[in-house]
Amino acid sequence: MEMFKVMGKIGEGAHGLVLRGRHIVSGHDVALKKVTFKKFEDGIPNSVLREIKALRELDSDYIVQLLDAFPQGLGFVLVFEYMPSGLWEMLNDAANPLSIPQVKTYMRMLLRGVAYLHSCSIMHRDLKPANLLVSRDGVLKIADLGLARIFWSETRPYSHQVATRWYRAPELLYGARHYTHAVDLWAVGCILAEMHNRHPLFPGETDIEQLAIVVRTLGTPTEESWPGLTKLPDYNKITFPHSPGLSWRKMLPGACPEVVGLVRRFLLYPAGHRLPAEKALVHPYFFTEPLPCLVSAMPKPEDGHRQRFKRTEYNVDMPADQMFQALNSLLAAPTDN
């Protein structure tokens, strides 16, 4: 039997609430992800099972740590280490813009987290600023593995309805069911460009507009520049006016040659040509002035980047016994997509 005091609401996802809590015995703050199963006749959603499976096996300073998981009422509770802010809040804090050394340090942390996931054969499939959280010490960590999937081979089909639209790789926009962890590398390139531009690079409002923006920006792909393009499921469903693409100077105004060089290694149509995260860590971008800063010089949530929430206090009784055997049997079951 464990007791938590719920301090307030942090956010709301597709399957439930994320609350800030405090473990009464230790006094440590935690994030409580409450998932309700009322809408799911078949039990626990696959996305929740994937997240628990992945996080139980992962051990990295750059992945949010899962502390516990157990049933509660008509749902389930995942207990995470508490992260008081995130990259989205940092990018939208006009009063405290990120410096170039801070951007480089965040990018290095992100790449280390992505490299670790990929070394474990895991695709995140939803990398975006809102899923990159920041600890009290200023460390960036990858969160929300609800869409994560173990990558087995390029011949196995996966769902193309993954990744938030602005960070969705072009093969997914064309309906690809066979893809690799390179979809994460495209998202990393979008995030790096956004940190330098202070606004999203491809802000489409619909899937069609998203693809149109990508094509207009990077240029119209062809079978020669992107082998296999014409075989993608949605290739013949829509056409766009031919575009030669924009110059990188227009895409990343004011950016140094090194950041342009790194972004363009990620934002490539052929997924197999995108720079792996491990190799990106030794790119010249990280070794030219200004250099990445120390973690001690990174923004801290206490400096004004704290997430806003309405403060409430009440006790939640969370039983953690008698149900673990059932949970483990569920976790052992295969998941699709």
> What are the residue numbers of the active site?
126
For the record, the structure tokens of 237 come out as 């469903």
For the record, the structure tokens of 176 come out as 């690809």
Q: Which residues of 39-65 are buried (b: 16+ CB within 10 A; e: fewer)?
A: eeeeebbbbbbbbbbbbeebebebbbe
| DSSP helix, strand, coil percent of the chain (3-state; round to 5) | 35, 20, 45
Whether residue 103 contacts residue 195, with contact meaning beta carbons closer than 8 Å, is answered with yes
User: Rounded to 5 degrees, what are φ and ψ at 257?
Assistant: -55, -35
> What is the spatial distance between Cα 155 and Cα 178, in angstroms, rounded to a whole number?
6
CA distances from 235 to 160, 165, 220, 239, 269 (A): 14, 18, 12, 8, 14
Helix ranges restricted to H, 135-285: 170-173, 182-197, 207-218, 248-251, 257-266, 277-280
Instruction: Classify residue 146 by its DSSP letter.
Output: T
> What is the spatial distance between Cα 18 and Cα 10, in angstroms, rounded to a whole number?
5
